Structure 1
């Protein structure tokens, strides 16, 4: 499998994401939205960074169970109930991403939502990966 991340000079600098990702491989993995649920199904963490870390770890756990790794992620969508808080915590969230997933950034989008399935959830992350 090959993944090529493209960030054209004519676009704003990509910080924490890639503008385009081209992937070739034989298997697509569609990852369901993950929130900060623990193994018992309870939301853990009260701050956006705490919940982001758990949600990302859950996403990566599902990806690993499907045979993938963070570098296989090609597309990620982050849903949050507070875009302002997400922006203000962006440096912290970036550190969490790099610690758990490395520096191979997928194409990403952030979407503000009124609420998520679990009322206590502040963030949900889904994604698509391409595996060899």
Structure 2
């Protein structure tokens, strides 16, 4: 599996994501949106976007480990949040979990609400395995 991340100089800077991922491999892995819920379905982080982002990323990481996927296999990430203007805080929390791994192409979507009251963010991803 190969993944090349590209940021053309003629596009705006990509803070916390890449504009393009060119990937080759044999298996796509789709990860459902992960939120800040613990195994007992309790909310982690209350009204703290940073804490909820870290928790959602840790849940995504757990799902990735179950599928045999690392951060270098992620070719697309989509983030749904009630606070899209807080992209720097979200990126910082993502870096905290990924150890600063290269950011894949990403879409950040502002929403008025998520599946359960109190959720501030949901993160889904697509990975490519050889």
Fold similarity call, TM over 0.5: yes
Give the secondary-structure state (helix, strand or coil) at the position aligned to 1:78. Answer: strand
Pairwise CA distance, 1:99: 2.7
Which TM-score applies when normalising by structure 1?
0.91
Query: Which residue is equivalent to 1:63?
Result: 64
Structure 2 unmatched runs, 5+ = none
Total equivalences in the alignment:
128
Give the secondary-structure state (helix, strand or coil) at the position aligned to 2:64. Answer: helix
- Write the distance in 1 (CA, Å) between the matches of 2:111 and 2:12: 25
Query: Which residue is equivalent to 2:55?
Result: 54
Pairwise CA distance, 1:128: 0.2
Query: Which residue is equivalent to 2:73?
Result: 72
Query: Which residue is equivalent to 2:127?
Result: 129
Pairs within 5 Å for 1:89-104: 90=88, 92-101=89-98, 102-104=100-102
Query: Which residue is equivalent to 2:118?
Result: 120
Give the secondary-structure state (helix, strand or coil) at the position aligned to 2:124. Answer: strand
Give the secondary-structure state (helix, strand or coil) at the position aligned to 2:12. Answer: coil
Computed over aligned residues only, the root mean square deviation of the Cα atoms, in angstroms, reads 1.2
Give the secondary-structure state (helix, strand or coil) at the position aligned to 2:55. Answer: helix
- Write the distance in 1 (CA, Å) between the matches of 2:11 and 2:109: 20
Deviations 1:8-51 (A, max 9, x none): 00001112100000111111100000000001111110210000
- Write the distance in 2 (CA, Å) between the matches of 1:73 and 1:17: 12
| Structure 1 stretches of at least 4 aligned residues deviating more than 3 Å after TM superposition | none
Which TM-score applies when normalising by structure 2?
0.93
